Amino acid sequence: MPDFWNNIKKLFTAAEESSPNQPVIHEMIERSAEELAGYERWKSGLGRRRMIDWLQAEYANYLIDPEQIDEAIDFLDTPSSKGFVIHFQKTRYPLQEVINLLDYLKEKVLAMNYRSYMSDVRTYNRPKWVESVQRHYLKPPTNLRQPINQKFNQKYGNITIELQLRNEQAFYLKFSATSYRDHLFKNAEDFAGLMRGVLKTD
């Protein structure tokens, strides 16, 4: 029992000392057996199809006429970072479906010969809400036997898939590919190829 109360006191102390850069809680993402089973059902159901069809349509709109995209999504396009942000506070998607989308995007990137570097969740004590950030961070494969005089193939760069929750409600999901701008690496492949892989349905 003393250990229990000591842990509670530590948690409250951490909350008081937390800052924008210092989370109250930082732990690895671990899905329960029930969550994993629900995810598999979601993948084969209408929920996944509805979300992916919407993403496909909005990406097509962005390529043809950016002014016509839904207000619930923005696309990122800078020299070193490309991706999209879905503003879930403007939608009615259930939280579990949004978490499923987060994990599904990771699964699709892994299928493109990427490797999982970290999957974590950080919780912050903000002035007006409790913020949780679930994040998957993936890196391109590393060829340790590559000749010294050859540049590394970075594919699309490092990929981060991040879901922010505010008071246990989905706020936004950000998918971004950040490329290396370094003489050791080949230029990143076209982001459109990454989107085709992510949005491809089996």
Q: Which residues pair with 176 in a beta bridge?
A: 83, 160
Q: Is 76 helix (H, G, I), strand (E, B) or coil?
A: strand
The three-state secondary structure class of 30 is coil
The structure's pTM equals 0.86
Q: Smallest Cα–Cα separation from 104: which of 202, 37, 198?
A: 198
Q: Of 177, 144, 184, nearest to 161 (Cα)?
A: 177
Ordered per-residue pLDDT tens for the chain, 202 residues: 455 445 434 444 444 444 556 778 899 999 999 999 999 999 999 999 999 999 999 999 999 999 999 999 999 999 889 999 999 987 888 999 999 999 999 999 999 999 999 999 999 988 888 999 999 999 998 766 666 677 778 899 999 999 999 999 999 999 999 998 777 778 889 999 999 999 987 6
- Which distant-in-sequence residues (6+ apart) come within 8 Å of 158 by Cβ? 117, 137, 138, 139, 140, 177, 178, 179, 180
